[in-house]
Structure 1
Amino acid sequence: MEEQKANVRAVERALDILLCFTDSTDLGLSEIAGRLSLHKSTVHRLLATLENKGFLIRDAQTEKYRLGFRLWELSVNLAHSDDPATLWLPEMERLRDVVGETISLYVRDGNERIRIQAVQSNQAIRRVAPIGARMPLSVGASSKVLVAYAEPAVREEVLSDPLWPESIDRDAYLEQLEQIRRQGFATSVEERELGAAAVAAPIFNRNEKLVAALAVSGPSNRLTLERMMEIAEPIMESAYRMGKMLK
């Protein structure tokens, strides 16, 4: 039993190491050990195993690690018709051409949202949306959509998070969520980032269950509140079509 627990712990730690690369391209032994609060000797053994299996590559000169090609091999199997991020890409590109701004797709992961797909604007000045980026659920149009249309128990869990910013008035936020449910979309202006604005709509599957948030983002001097109101309808129409694509 103890051996089994040790094996599970080793797997969890190996996965934690891989997750360190969600916001970094290359990391050294000390950096990884510091992030995970583990002894260097433990991390070194796990790194050697991950490198041997092709999940990590070690640079001999810098002695830093980066993600290996084995992960690319695994990711190929994500690109099939049942993967929403791939299935919805043509519709996202079509919407980008209609509104002229960056299109992003977000899902809730615990008390965060994560961008799982993005189509960059063709404008010279644009919002760059890296896939895999994680953001808090407390601010942003997509966050408000994911909270507004979540199950009541999930919504309460998110709002009860000890890390929820004290600067956000709970009653005012709940009132805002109610308005979002009435109008079918959410907007944000410089809530998370100065100079940026966004408008988002929910995507539901055939069972009317929230699946993701579809967002359009751009510079706030171009994506004004008036402009967001103009493009809200085509965004909601795209979100509706995307939901109908799901089995």
Structure 2
Amino acid sequence: MSETIVAVDRALDVLLLLYNNGQEIGVSEIGRELGLHKSTVHRTLATLENKGFVHQNRENGKYWLGTKIYAMGLRVGEKLSLVDIIRPYAKELFDEFQEVVNVSILDKDSHDGYKTIIILKEVDTNKVLSVNPNIGSSSDAHASSVGKCLLAFSKDIDFNKISNNHLKKHTENTLSNKDELIKELKKVKEDGYAIDDEEQELGLYCIGAPILDKNGDAIAAISMSGPTARMKRQDINDKILKVVETAKEISLATRQLR
């Protein structure tokens, strides 16, 4: 067996251990369980973390599976109970307003700033937006309503990881200054929802709200988006209230998973 295959086998053993354990594990415990030296475990975890397959909790130093595992599962059609629970609520929101509905999670493992990953989508294929990403695709968290909700309501956000270099300016409306972003996130937490007013794409307006666990931490976020003129033309307050209401209903429904 070549050294390359041994290294891959070792990495897969680490992922399977994390999966089967069902909770965060420290380096020493991983080493004991797999009979590996700490230095070997460190190198393996560093490689996996660099690719987004594991995530380190900076508060306790322990590791858990990363959101790339989640995204890959979605790409190959794996059904997750979270998605199954959310789907009817997303469909109801779409049916009422006939605007694109997305549900996203936060990718904390990206080395290019925080990203969001779409896990569920409701869309009318006859209404095509110029930006209509597929399930499993990622985008900059700072430039979307779901991203701002996830940053505002998620625990373990390392603002030292966010620099102005990571805040890509997609349009003139994009928040590209760290201090301005932090100020916006405080407002999002106070309001309970976020707006993307042509920050990701000119002509696109989006309303997002967080899906929260019993501790008030975001496990996902839901959004409704469409052309700015149509979204703002009528019933904008009704749309905001409905997105927030839907997120709260989903939050209650998903707590059975926690």
- Matching of residues 111-190 of structure 1 within 5 Å: 111-121=114-124, 124=127, 128-151=132-155, 153-160=156-163, 163-165=166-168, 168-190=176-198
- Percentage identity across aligned positions? 18
Change (3 A) 1:95 1:175: same
Size of the aligned set, in residue pairs, is 184
Kept in 1: contact 2:167–2:177 (CA 8 A):
no
CA distance in 1, matches of 2:184, 2:253: 29
Secondary structure class of the residue paired with 2:209: strand
CA distance in 1, matches of 2:7, 2:236: 48
CA distance in 1, matches of 2:96, 2:165: 40
Kept in 2: contact 1:187–1:228 (CA 8 A):
no
TM-score by length of 1: 0.64
The residue that corresponds to 1:107 in the other structure is: 105
Amino acid at match of 1:8: A
CA distance in 2, matches of 1:216, 1:7: 46
CA distance in 2, matches of 1:10, 1:225: 56
How far 1:177 sits from its partner (Å)? 0.9
CA distance in 2, matches of 1:160, 1:12: 31
Secondary structure class of the residue paired with 2:230: coil
Structure 2 unaligned segments of length 5 or more: list them: 13-71, 109-113, 170-174
CA distance in 2, matches of 1:11, 1:219: 49
How far 1:184 sits from its partner (Å)? 0.6
Kept in 2: contact 1:199–1:228 (CA 8 A):
no
The residue that corresponds to 1:87 in the other structure is: 85
CA distance in 2, matches of 1:8, 1:162: 34
The residue that corresponds to 1:223 in the other structure is: 231
Following TM superposition, where does structure 1 have runs of at least 4 consecutive aligned residues deviating by more than 6 angstroms?
10-13
Structure 1 unaligned segments of length 5 or more: list them: 14-70
How far 1:85 sits from its partner (Å)? 1.2
Change (3 A) 1:9 1:163: farther
Q: Please tell me the root mean square deviation across aligned C-alpha atoms, in Å.
A: 3.2
Secondary structure class of the residue paired with 1:108: strand
Please list the CA deviations of residues 120-144 of structure 1 after superposition, one character each: whole Å capped at 9, or x if unmatched. Answer: 1476455744211110122111111
Kept in 2: contact 1:102–1:129 (CA 8 A):
no
- Matching of residues 195-206 of structure 1 within 5 Å: 195-206=203-214
CA distance in 1, matches of 2:142, 2:253: 29
**Larger gyration radius, structure 1 or structure 2:** 1
How far 1:160 sits from its partner (Å)? 4.2
CA distance in 2, matches of 1:7, 1:226: 61
